[in-house]
Amino acid sequence: MIVIRPIRADDYASLYDIAVESGHGFTSLPVNDELLMRKINRSERSFQKTVTSPGDEGYLFVLEDTTSGLVMGTSALEAAVGLDDAFYHYHLGKVVHSSRSLNVYKTVDILTLCNDYTGASELCTLFLREACRQKNNGKLLSKFRFLFLKEFSERFSDRIIAEMRGVSDENGNSPFWQWLQEHFFSVDFPTADYLTGIGQKVFIAELMPKYPIYVSLLSKEAQAVIGQVHGKTRPAISLLQSEGFSHRGYVDIFDAGPTVEANLEHIRSARYSEKRQVRIGDVKPGHAYLVCNTQLQNFRATWLEMQIDEDSDEVVLSAECAEGLLVEAGDWVRLTRI
């Protein structure tokens, strides 16, 4: 059975392998022993913490094949970004240069450094191993978070964001960063990316240009990738857009990848999810659904094909599925159609 569960300390070796496999541009999983263990410990503390409003909690999950014990991928939620360290973005805006006397009117695109997403909750650390990208595994690994957000909404902000990986080549070089590096930094993109991933962000405040950057002054290569996603990230952004996320002009300060956002109440899978009481029995094949239990520390989620009786508040689960979700007859689960 394929299930989502909170990460544990004994998942460290699998997490390290995933960090290596994820490659350049995946800043939330740096290949660093201390940082990875710190992420696991922080997640375990977050699940144990009594929370009434979002703070510095981070919830890290793994996708596991319970038959083989293989950890297939990771996914995470940050309760509120920017509360401890500044959370930077560039915002793509416009300024107008006009003169009636000279009959000149020109609109110019600019990038302004900002911290506008401070306090927002973030979808992050989504990675599914290459060999496991099949059936609905990718959708489960991404979309279960919307059920978790809905079920434990007091732990999160109403504003949900996701940073999308920007354009870089197979060596980890970003056209956008190359321009910044040439004019403001002496650090290559993989190094800057890694420093951010391990929490060393002070160089951003020290060296990043404070004044708006005129986009027309950037190289043509840098201009072309602003707000564009890496080829491997296109399925992820398409999925989020189908859920109601949109890009509102904010881009990453390193690779200019877009950040998308949505209010929790507008996220389709959360909005149309429902709670039903479990009945153990024979499951009739039907549509694909995401299903999760309503427990925090023992959270479990999976996907399965089944029929739903619209006139009932029950859902029929097989004994195997109920065991995998750690529920019994009479318990409540939250579900949404894929």
Catalytic residue positions, numbered? 230
The 3-state DSSP class for residue 99 equals strand
Q: Where are the alpha helices (DSSP H) in the chain?
A: 12-22, 33-48, 137-151, 175-183, 189-197, 202-207, 220-224, 234-242, 268-271, 319-324
- Please choose, from the candidates 114, 160, 45, 116, the residue with its C-alpha nearest in 3D space to the C-alpha of residue 253: 114
DSSP of 123-152:
EEEEEE-GGG--TTHHHHHHHHHHHHHHHT
**Quick one: tokens of 48?**
């144990």
214 close to 149: Cβ distance less than 8 angstroms: no
- Please choose, from the candidates 162, 157, 158, the residue with its C-alpha nearest in 3D space to the C-alpha of residue 54: 157
User: How do beta strands 332-337 and 287-293 pair?
Assistant: antiparallel
31 close to 88: Cβ distance less than 8 angstroms: no
Residue 116 DSSP label: T
**How big is the chain, counted in residues?**
338
Tokens 């496999």 locate to: 21
**Quick one: tokens of 298?**
């023992």
CA distances from 83 to 57, 78, 221 (A): 10, 11, 34
